[in-house]
Amino acid sequence: MQLRVGEVIESTTVEFTTGAYELLEAPTFGALIRAQTCTEGMSVYGLVYDIRTGSKEPGGRALVRGRTYAGRELYDEEIYREYPDLAEVLQTEFSAITIGFVEGDRIYQYLPPHPPPVHYSVYPCEQTEVIRFSETMDFFRTVLFSYQIPSDELLAATIRIAARARLRSPENEREFLVRAGREIASLLKDDYDRLTSILRRIRP
């Protein structure tokens, strides 16, 4: 049984935010994730575009822990070992742009009828699911023209992840990258600078 990475804590038509169950444990930037919905057999797909860790208290901030008043110095992981209670006062969250949904056996790369409900489970997508979803590239347009997110970096990261997932699949990494590059070129044919910038980022 696949393990949940967290649960939805905020949800809109176009994106959702997940609270991670483990501190500092979140899918990578550009990762494909799947959130459950109220409708049986339907899940919503999103791409992680923002990851953050901070105080659980509204308006609160993390405190400096690397130097004690007695002059003792603590570094990086030592701080978490010295203060195991940090997992109780800090929370890792990640936001994802909605790029489609699955209903039964069919995948749709447009907005679902409704967003995932708050407190519903969120799962990281395994390689086979990443491959299946990225066979169609209609979601490229959604990402490229979503200006509230780092769209170019996000699409490039997602393409790199989907390409790596194909290392042992019938379609190899290079074939997928070529196909993805052509799709981006068709969408950005009037913006050469942006096109070349993204293509440099997906080059193996």
pLDDT in tens, 80-131: 898 889 989 999 999 999 999 999 999 999 999 999 999 999 999 999 999 9
What does the domain layout of the chain look like in residue ranges? Answer: 1-125, 127-204
Bridge-partner residues for 19, per DSSP? 7, 93
Q: How confident is the model at residue 204 (pLDDT cuts 50, 70, 90)?
A: low
Report how far residue 91's alpha carbon sits from residue 203's, in angstroms, rounded to the nearest whole number.
34
| Model confidence pTM above 0.85 | yes
DSSP-derived 3-state class of residue 129 = helix
The reported pLDDT for the residue numbered 69 is: 73
Beta strands in the chain (DSSP E): 6-11, 15-20, 32-36, 42-55, 90-103, 106-108, 121-124
The reported pLDDT for the residue numbered 83 is: 86
User: Residue 145: pLDDT above 70?
Assistant: yes
The reported pLDDT for the residue numbered 60 is: 83
Q: Are 130 and 47 in contact (CB under 8 A)?
A: no
Q: Are 94 and 25 in contact (CB under 8 A)?
A: no
**Which amino acid belongs to residue 73?**
E
The chain-wide mean pLDDT, for the chain, equals: 93
Specify the residue for token string 């600078």: 193
Q: How confident is the model at residue 65 (pLDDT cuts 50, 70, 90)?
A: confident
Specify the residue for token string 């170019």: 152
User: Computed from CA positions of residues 38, 43, 44, 50, in that sequence, does the dihedral angle turn out positive or negative?
Assistant: positive
Over residues 6-34, the mean pLDDT reads 97
